[in-house]
């Protein structure tokens, strides 16, 4: 597959993600979370909540580096450092430009966000539980590739809307690298099956 996205080092991204398939999935995940992430950064900045602002830009730095957007990752790293130094003036000066560069990726990522809704497997409690256990192991091992693969498998089952909502939350937590919350939700899902 020939992927060409300005500002993204595809070779590095595939290496960082673990495989081309996982890289492509990651692009779709990021597309879906972009608006929410940008909104959070802007909102924390408006509230002058430097601590949460720093947490968000740290997460975006990691995300950008994983998908090979090295310059953008560096920009978010600069914002993270400024956050740790409590340098509000510089943060306010630089953040809009960095977020605009991040937003510029959106149209390039959109094609990767299309979900294949057809051919879902019928729900199987035992298989579903087994995948959740694999997911928890992947989280414990900080294995992003395995965690994403497990979540994708969970989505391949035909679930009711309530379960689907929880899977969407789980997907977001994994994409955001919120492993503790993802593990908690996975355990909760397991016990409620």
Q: Which residues of 34-73 are buried (b: 16+ CB within 10 A; e: fewer)?
A: beebbebbeebbeeeebeebbbbbbbbbbbbbbbbbbebb
Number of domains in the chain: 2
How many other β-carbons are positioned within 10 Å of the β-carbon of residue 105?
21
Is residue 164 one of the residues assigned to a domain?
yes
Report H helices in 104-124: 106-109
How many other β-carbons are positioned within 10 Å of the β-carbon of residue 1?
7
Q: Which residue has the tokens 């016990």?
A: 191
DSSP state of 193: -
Last residue of a domain, one of 79, 97, 113: 113
Same domain, 127 and 90: no
Give me 117's structure tokens.
């809704």
- Main-chain dihedrals φ then ψ at residue 9, nearest 5 degrees: -85, 100
How many other β-carbons are positioned within 10 Å of the β-carbon of residue 110?
14
Domain of 38 in residue numbering reads as 10-113
pLDDT over 70 percentage in the chain: 96
Last residue of a domain, one of 87, 113, 139: 113
| Confidence at residue 75, expressed as pLDDT on a 0 to 100 scale | 97
Is residue 53 one of the residues assigned to a domain?
yes
Same domain, 164 and 184: yes
**How far apart, in Å, are the Cα atoms of 45 and each of 48, 55, 83, 163?**
5, 12, 10, 34
For the chain, what is the total number of helices (H) and then of strands (E)? 10, 2
**How far apart, in Å, are the Cα atoms of 153 and each of 27, 30, 118, 181?**
18, 19, 14, 19
Last residue of a domain, one of 79, 113, 147: 113
Is residue 3 one of the residues assigned to a domain?
no
Q: Looking at mean pLDDT, say which of 102-106, 148-152, 168-172 comes out highest.
A: 102-106
Give me 172's structure tokens.
């977001």
Mean predicted confidence (pLDDT) in 7-32: 88
CA-to-CA distance for 98 and 41, rounded, in angstroms?
A: 11
Which H or E element spans position 158?
A: strand 157-158
Same domain, 91 and 30: yes
The string of pLDDT tens digits covering residues 151-190 is 888 888 887 888 888 888 998 888 887 889 999 999 999 9
Mean pLDDT for all residues in the chain? 89
Is residue 5 one of the residues assigned to a domain?
no
Say whether pLDDT at 116 is over 70.
no
| Confidence at residue 42, expressed as pLDDT on a 0 to 100 scale | 96
The answer to whether 42 and 97 are in contact (CB under 8 A) is no
Is residue 1 one of the residues assigned to a domain?
no
């Amino acid at each position: 597959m020939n992927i060409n996205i300005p500002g993204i080092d595809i070779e590095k991204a595939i290496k960082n993600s673990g495989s081309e398939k996982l890289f492509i999935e990651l692009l779709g995940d990021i597309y879906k979370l972009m608006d929410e992430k940008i909104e959070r950064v802007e909102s924390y900045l408006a509230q002058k909540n430097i601590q949460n602002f720093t947490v968000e830009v740290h997460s975006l730095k990691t995300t950008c580096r994983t998908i090979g957007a090295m310059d953008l990752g560096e920009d978010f790293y600069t914002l993270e450092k400024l956050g740790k130094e409590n340098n509000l003036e510089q943060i306010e000066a630089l953040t809009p430009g960095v977020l605009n560069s991040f937003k510029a990726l959106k149209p390039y990522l959109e094609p990767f966000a299309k979900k294949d809704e057809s051919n879902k497997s019928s729900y199987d409690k035992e298989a579903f539980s087994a995948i959740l256990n694999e997911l928890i192991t992947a989280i414990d091992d900080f294995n992003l590739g395995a965690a994403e693969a497990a979540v994708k498998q969970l989505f391949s089952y035909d679930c009711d809307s309530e379960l689907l909502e929880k899977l969407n939350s789980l997907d977001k937590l994994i994409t955001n690298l919120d492993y503790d919350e993802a593990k908690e939700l996975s355990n909760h899902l397991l016990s409620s099956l």
